[in-house]
Structure 1
């Protein structure tokens, strides 16, 4: 087992996801993941803090890039338009690999603790977007409502995307925002 083999992080992620699907998350040990990836457990811990982080290690990048997109939105953008820009950045990171997203989603949905962790991650992102909106001068209640609405739109769009074969994640987000506008339109 090579100590500094290139691509170890990707191999570890692939091995972990496959083992989580085969055996279940709880039944998979770090040593099993490392062995399947052809590295040592020590190498695993150079890439991931624990076996959950295989699933959640992109959270910081998602938050950073979504906040940058929110901040870069035009000053004339409404709070929801700014949130939509942030979600577009998320789609740019996640939306290129539906198979990986499907596998990750299946593993998370099969484990209550992982579902809770996913919801916490989404809540943290929503709170960060609300803070970003407040920095743009949006009132606290409006900022929170826009960020939480964006989070709901994202969850619905993401589910549609992983269930589909011919839908782009960005399109799914756009369609969900359009459906929201239809739902909230007054007669």
Structure 2
């Protein structure tokens, strides 16, 4: 193996997802990931602290795309619209590789420890959005509610995106999910009393 290999990080992530899908997360070792990527274990540890980190390495970048879009929204933008713009930006940041997103989500869904880590990531995202809204002068309770709703809308859109064939525009699914939430809140989706 050469001393320097291009895109080592990406190759390690792809190799890990392949192996996690084939063998399971728990059964896959760092040595196997490195070997599959054509790299050394030492190279693996230059990029990731452990084999879980392969799945969550882009969390800060993902969160940053949301927060930057929220901060960039005009000041007069209502909180839920600012969060919707943030969710659309986050969606745009990940939609380029749907197959990898599906593989990643399948690995997480099969492991309780990874599910917990994913929930922690989403809780941090919610807190970051609520904080950015508060900095815009939005009252704390309203900021928290808008951030929670925005992350829920994103989650529903993401699940549709990885689960459905045909629809490849994740930002559009985010907007559609927000419209469905609005309709539900307005009573359009409520069941009539029996």
Q: TM-score, normalised by structure 1?
A: 0.97
Deviation, 1:38, is 0.7
Q: Which residue of 1 aligns with 2:39?
A: 39
Q: Which residue of 1 aligns with 2:182?
A: 181
Structure 1 residues 10-68: Cα deviation after superposition (integer angstroms, max 9, x where no partner): 11111100000111101111011001111100000111111111110111111112111
Q: Separation in 1 of the partners of 2:11 and 2:51?
A: 14
Deviation, 1:95, is 1.1
Deviation, 1:186, is 4.8
Contact preservation (8 Å) 2:89, 2:171: no
Contact preservation (8 Å) 1:91, 1:170: yes
Deviation, 1:82, is 0.5
Q: Which residue of 1 aligns with 2:160?
A: 160
Q: Separation in 2 of the partners of 1:182 and 1:3?
A: 57
SS of match in other structure, 2:173: helix
Give aligned pairs, total: 187
Q: Which residue of 2 aligns with 1:132?
A: 132
For structure 1, list consecutive stretches of 5 or more residues without a partner in the other structure: none
Q: Separation in 2 of the partners of 1:84 and 1:174?
A: 7
Runs of 4+ residues deviating >2 angstroms: none
Moved more, 59-68 or 139-148: 59-68
Q: Separation in 1 of the partners of 2:111 and 2:77?
A: 39
Does 2:59 correspond to 1:53? Answer: no
Q: Separation in 2 of the partners of 1:110 and 1:2?
A: 35
SS of match in other structure, 2:130: helix
Structure 1 residues 126-177: Cα deviation after superposition (integer angstroms, max 9, x where no partner): 0000000000000000000000011111111100000112221111101100
For structure 2, list consecutive stretches of 5 or more residues without a partner in the other structure: 189-194
Q: Separation in 1 of the partners of 2:111 and 2:37?
A: 23
Q: Separation in 1 of the partners of 2:62 and 2:16?
A: 21
Q: Separation in 1 of the partners of 2:45 and 2:87?
A: 31
Contact preservation (8 Å) 1:79, 1:143: yes
Deviation, 1:2, is 2.3
Q: Separation in 2 of the partners of 1:143 and 1:34?
A: 43
